[in-house]
Amino acid sequence: MENIQQQDDAVERGEACPPAVILCEPQLGENIGMVARAMANFGLNDLRIVNPRDGWPSEKARSASSRAHHVIDSAKVFDSVEEALADLQLVFATTARSRDIPKPVVGPDVAAQEAVVSSQQRGDKVGYMFGRERWGLNNDEVALANKIVTLPVDPTYASLNIAQAVLVCAYEWRRQATAGLLPFTLDDYDAEPATQAEIGYMFKHLEEALEVRGFFRPLEKKPVTVRRLRNIFQKAGLTGNEVRIMRGVVACFEKYGRKRDG
C-alpha cells in the first residue's frame, strides 16, 4: 500500500514514478539483497519477487542489502509472474540473449526515456523484469513484456550479475527522471564573476611584477607573451574573490621575492 501511495503522489506532482523491479525465481538471498541496494541507490523501492528459491523473508538478503532495509521490508512475493505484473502498464524484460519472439528491443537508456515519459505523461506504472541468476528469463516470461531491454555488453561475455543489471537500468532511469542532476557540485556557482575591470587591474599588477623580475626576455617577444598570459586568465572564468587572491599572491612575490640588483 505504501508503494501505491508513493506512486499516486508522484503522478499528482507530475514526477516520474520509480519503476518496479520484478525478480523471477531468484536463487540466492544475497543477490536479492544486492538488488535492493542497487534499487535504493537510485530511488527505486518497489521490489517484487516471484517464487524465491530459498523462501522469504531472508536474513541473507537483509544483510547483503547494506541497510537498504526499506526496500527489503516492503518487498512483495508472488506465486506467478502474471500476478507480479498485473497492475503494470509498461513492462520491460531484460535479457542478454536473442529470442525468437518478435518484440521491440531497446537499450537501457531508451527504456528509461520511455519509462519516464509514460509515467509522467500518462501515469503508467512501469516494471523491469529480471530472470534467474543462471539462465535468465524464459520465453514465456519474455512474451509477457511490452519490450526487451538488452545492454551493450561484449557478446563474447554477456553474463551480468543480476544486481549489476538492475543497477544499470536503475541508473539510466534516475538519470532520465532527474535530467542528469547530480546530488552536489563543488563549483563556485554562487560567487560573483569578476568584472573586466578587476581582471584588468589584476593583470596590470601581475605584468608589472613580472617586468621587475625580468620575466619578459627577450623583450621583442613581450607583446606575444602578454597576450597569451591575458588569455589564460580570460579563459579561467575567475570570480571576484579569485582575482583578489591572485593579487595577494602577486603582492607576496613583490614583498618577499623581489630581484636584487647586481
Pairing of strands 90-94, 147-149: parallel
Positive or negative, the CA dihedral 89, 111, 13, 42 is positive
**pLDDT reported for residue 6:** 54
Closest C-alpha among 133, 150, 130 to residue 141? 130
**pLDDT reported for residue 260:** 53
**pLDDT reported for residue 199:** 93
pLDDT, one tens digit per residue, over 53-76 is 999 999 999 999 999 999 999 999
Checking if the pLDDT of 229 tops 70, the result is yes
| DSSP character at residue 100 | S
Q: Annotate 187-255 with DSSP letters as a single string.
A: S-TTSPBPPHHHHHHHHHHHHHHHHHTT-S-SGGGHHHHHHHHHHHHHHTT-BHHHHHHHHHHHHHHHH
Whole-angstrom Cα distance, residue 55 to residue 153? Answer: 32
Q: In this predicted model, which residue has the larger pLDDT, 174 or 258? A: 174
pLDDT, one tens digit per residue, over 200-224 is 999 999 999 999 888 999 989 999 9
Checking if the pLDDT of 183 tops 90, the result is no
Under the phi-then-psi rule, with left for phi > 0, alpha for psi from -120 to 50, and beta for the rest, what region is 6? alpha
- Which residues touch 212 (CB under 8 Å, ≥6 apart)? 254, 258, 259
The H or E element spanning position 78 is strand 76-78
- What is the percent of the chain with per-residue pLDDT over 70, rounded to a whole number? 91
| DSSP character at residue 161 | -
Structural domains of the chain sorted by starting position, each given as residue range(s) with its CATH number in brackets: 2-177 (3.40.1280.10), 196-256 (1.10.8)
Q: Which three cell numbers stand for residue 92?
A: 520491460
Q: In this predicted model, which residue has the larger pLDDT, 156 or 98? A: 156
pLDDT, one tens digit per residue, over 92-123 is 999 987 777 889 999 999 999 999 999 999 99
Instruction: Please give the torsion angle defined by the CA atoms of residues 56, 60, 64 and 70, in that order, rounded to the nearest 10 degrees.
Output: 40
**pLDDT reported for residue 109:** 97
Closest C-alpha among 110, 103, 175 to residue 137? 103
Average pLDDT, stretch 135-160?
92
Q: Band the pLDDT of 145: cuts 50, 70, 90.
A: very high
Whole-angstrom Cα distance, residue 35 to residue 23? Answer: 9
- pTM, to two decimals: 0.74
Q: Band the pLDDT of 258: cuts 50, 70, 90.
A: low
pLDDT, one tens digit per residue, over 11-56 is 445 578 999 999 999 999 999 999 999 999 999 999 999 999 999 9
Q: Which three cell numbers stand for residue 94?
A: 531484460
**pLDDT reported for residue 237:** 87
Query: If you average pLDDT over every residue of the chain, what do you get?
Result: 89
Do you know the residue count of the chain? 262
Whole-angstrom Cα distance, residue 149 to residue 198? Answer: 54
